[in-house]
Amino acid sequence: MSALPGVKALVFDTFGTVVDWRSGIARDARTFLAKHKRDDIDPLGFADAWRKKYQPAMEAVRSGKRPFTRLDVLHRENLDALLADHGISAGKAELDWLNRAWHRLDPWPDAIPGLLRLRAKHFLAPLSNGNILLLANMAKRAGIPWDAVLGAEAAQAYKPQREAYTRTAEILGLEPGEVALVAAHNGDLAAARKAGLKTAFVLRSHEHGPDQATDLRADSDWEAIVGSFEELADRLGC
């Protein structure tokens, strides 16, 4: 029996749940920093600092202080600010390349095998704060088998806004309870549940590196609690 009876679509948080953003950003940051002879800057620390600007940038949109702005633009603004903090200047082409590091992230080892199994019985799509081109490029490079590429740009809302979840279900032509969010973040799952979606927690204990202090366990009675996508496939009978 499935742990998510009645669920027709699985939608996935992407950064941290499907892909390892920290290692991928650090990889390209290492190349960029070496070119600029900045071996005083730790590439992993650079990735963390860039990511730290992520929520404040989206909050300006969520609060209504600025109109909906896709994540590629927010990432670029955050990158420009981060480089200014370090006194680094670069040309447009080089900055465009580094900003697209978010398009070139690698999946966790269990992600693709698990998604292929889950796809046999469920419709799969990202429910991410990423924009469509970012998520499509990521999927094309990594072989992520989405049935559709959705995300904040489609919903015109950033998680954890309720509309990010309900509009995704509406786009799919489903009731919220026929959709389950799969995420490694308890806060994301809490917002999804409040919006009527079912929930599945997958542990990603190294998303933020070896000293990670958050989301090391499920904080609630999510419908499924697993350690990998393949374990989720087992729980859903796939």
Q: How much of the chain exceeds pLDDT 90, in percent?
A: 99
Same domain as 213, residue 154: yes
Q: What confidence score (pLDDT) does residue 11 get?
A: 98
Q: What confidence score (pLDDT) does residue 18 get?
A: 98
Q: How much of the chain exceeds pLDDT 70, in percent?
A: 100
CATH number reported for the structural domain that contains residue 130 in this entry: 3.40.50.1000
Q: What is the pLDDT of residues 11-46, one digit of tens each?
A: 999 999 999 999 999 999 999 999 999 999 999 999
Same domain as 98, residue 68: yes
For the beta sheet containing 123-126, the strands, ordered from the edge strand earlier in sequence to the opposite edge, are 123-126, 9-12, 179-183, 198-202, 224-226
Q: Which of 227, 70, 95 is nearest to 155 (CA)?
A: 70
Q: What confidence score (pLDDT) does residue 1 get?
A: 77
Average pLDDT estimate for 122-133 = 98
Q: What is the largest CA-CA distance in the chain?
A: 57
Q: What confidence score (pLDDT) does residue 25 get?
A: 98
Same domain as 222, residue 157: yes
DSSP assignments along 45-86, one per residue? HHHHHHHHTHHHHHHHHHTTSS----HHHHHHHHHHHHHHHT
CA–CA gap between residue 7 and residue 179 (Å, rounded) = 5
What is the extent of the structural domain holding 39? Answer: 21-103
* Domain count along the chain: 2
Q: What confidence score (pLDDT) does residue 2 get?
A: 87
Judge if pTM exceeds 0.85: yes
CA–CA gap between residue 54 and residue 51 (Å, rounded) = 5
Residue 46 lies in a domain: yes
180 membership: H or E segment, kind and range = strand 179-183
CA–CA gap between residue 152 and residue 73 (Å, rounded) = 13
Q: What confidence score (pLDDT) does residue 127 get?
A: 98
Q: Where a domain ends, among 103, 129, 159?
A: 103
Same domain as 169, residue 60: no
pLDDT > 90? residue 182: yes
Same domain as 169, residue 155: yes
Same domain as 155, residue 218: yes
Residue 2 lies in a domain: no
Q: What is the pLDDT of residues 49-71, one digit of tens each?
A: 999 999 999 999 999 999 999 99
CATH number reported for the structural domain that contains residue 65 in this entry: 1.10.150.240
Confidence of residue 183 (pLDDT cuts 50, 70, 90): very high
Same domain as 214, residue 98: no
Same domain as 210, residue 144: yes
